[in-house]
Amino acid sequence: MSQQPDAKMKDVDPKGLIRESYRIEGITMPECRSIFLDWAINVALDQDTPTLIRQLLAHYGEDDPDHPMTAVLKEGLAAPATKGRRGGRSARVPDA
């Protein structure tokens, strides 16, 4: 696993959040999710987030497949579950 940030990863992980998560011994899945959320919030709208996640997985995850952050990154690639309609007037007011 690469311990030093390189120019390529600087564009993908500018704050080094993901890199540092792999360096924290004993880090838990909830902590990794929190770090991932912080990383994701800072991704520019014009960037392709799945491509960035794939780059992170290729750089860090291949060397540490059992790390909780690797699992979180893989979850980040999964399509969000689609849900039906939630609420609205028809859900609150009985049919008349």
Q: Would you kindly state where each structural domain of the chain is located, as residue ranges? A: 7-79
Sequence-distant (6+) residues with CB within 8 A of 88 are none
The whole-model pTM stands at: 0.76
Average of per-residue pLDDT across 10-21:
94
Q: What does each C-alpha distance from 4 to 19, 20, 55, 91 come to in angstroms?
A: 9, 10, 16, 54
Confidence of residue 80 (pLDDT cuts 50, 70, 90): confident
Confidence of residue 5 (pLDDT cuts 50, 70, 90): low
8 Rama sector, left if φ>0, alpha if ψ -120 to 50, beta otherwise: alpha
Average of per-residue pLDDT across 61-74:
96
Confidence of residue 68 (pLDDT cuts 50, 70, 90): very high
Average of per-residue pLDDT across 54-76:
96
Q: What is the pLDDT of residue 1?
A: 45
pLDDT at 28 over 60: yes
The structure tokens listed for 70 are 């690797």
